[in-house]
Amino acid sequence: MPRQFFVGGNWKMNGDKASIDGIVNFLNAGAPYKDVEVVVSPPSPYLAYAKDKLKPDVLVAAQNCYKVRTERGEVGEYSLCVEVSKGAFTGEQSPAMLKDLGLKWVIIGHSERRHVFGESDELTADKTLHAIQEGLGVIFCIGEKLEEREAGKTKEVNFRQLAALVAKNPDWSKIVVAYEPVWAIGTGKTASPEQAQEVHEWVREFLNEKVSKEVGGATRIIYGGSVTPDNCVELGKKGDIDGFLVGGASLKPDFVKIINARN
Ligand code: PEP
């Protein structure tokens, strides 16, 4: 089965009601979108605001959520292990809350979560597993830093980040892998189509080998890192690039051109 093209817009910590109205207007005006799944990710305080205004062609994702906490609780006469998606985690949001808002997706493991907030491979994998178990789809981000690429460690770093998730045995039909080289995010230095394709191919081979050929063939692997309307068409022609995760350019009307990169 062909993999459906997937384009995500990560708004990061940007926007207010007025600017979100503007983004919603151009996204709604561009709909309906053909042969592409479109998902935008506003900051938490605006998730419901944006979702209420967007046409159903455009889904909404959260930028993060917390992992499970397992508690022993008394249920009737039995002592059971009860997984709870709420509790004393100030500043966090649970996948159950995102589901309650009607969201279908969450971004986990973005390089800013990993490197600004110090989230480990293990936590990232745990959060992904929990979000999936709660019924969300996950845009699972991986990517190497510049010094890691220069030291010849691109494959090793991306495989290590993926291996942490493979170890949790998640439902891969709920996962989109976003390869986002850290050196390309927000820098204007896009990976060339060949550089991106090379890593996407490695990721697919890794999934073929460590999970199954079925999962390797079916999983969408999208590219993120300074994608623009000018470079998206060439990137989108590569066989293992199944879409994009877009930061800065997703805030501008030309984002619609990126959504339609394959059309
Ligand atoms: C991102 O934040 O995921 C991203 C890819 O940002 P940008 O497109 O601005 O490089």
Express each pLDDT in 22-57 by its tens digit. Answer: 999 999 999 999 999 999 999 999 999 999 999 999
What is the position in ligand 1's atom list of the atom closest to the CA of 178? 3
Nearest-CA residue for atom 2 of ligand 1: 247
227 CB less than 6 Å from ligand 1?
Answer: yes
Express each pLDDT in 84-143 by its tens digit. Answer: 677 888 999 999 999 999 999 999 999 999 999 999 999 999 999 999 999 999 999 999
**110 catalytic per annotation:** yes
Owner of token pair 């561009």: 30
C-alpha span between 170 and 129 (Å, rounded): 6
The 8-class DSSP code of residue 113 comes to H
The reported pLDDT for the residue numbered 109 is 98
- The helix or strand, by DSSP H or E, that contains position 24, with its residue range, turns out to be helix 17-30
Query: In angstroms, what CA-CA distances link 191 with 13, 15, 145, 185, 195?
Result: 24, 27, 12, 10, 6
Spell out the domain ranges in the chain: 5-259
For 5-259, which CATH superfamily applies?
A: Aldolase class I (3.20.20.70)
In the set 37, 110, 148, 200, the catalytic residue is 110
Express each pLDDT in 163-208 by its tens digit. Answer: 999 999 999 999 999 999 999 999 999 999 999 999 999 999 999 9
**122 catalytic per annotation:** no
Task: Say whether the ipTM exceeds 0.90.
Answer: yes
Confidence tier at 8 by pLDDT (50, 70, 90): very high
**pTM of this prediction?**
0.95
Nearest-CA residue for atom 3 of ligand 1: 247
180 CB less than 6 Å from ligand 1?
Answer: yes
- Please say if the pLDDT value at position 77 is more than 70: no
The reported pLDDT for the residue numbered 218 is 98
Closest by Cα among 198, 196, 251 to 228: 251
225 CB less than 6 Å from ligand 1?
Answer: yes
Separation of CA 119 and ligand 1 centre (Å): 18
Owner of token pair 């909404």: 60
Express each pLDDT in 226-248 by its tens digit. Answer: 999 999 999 999 999 999 999 99
The reported pLDDT for the residue numbered 18 is 98
What is the position in ligand 1's atom list of the atom closest to the CA of 224? 5
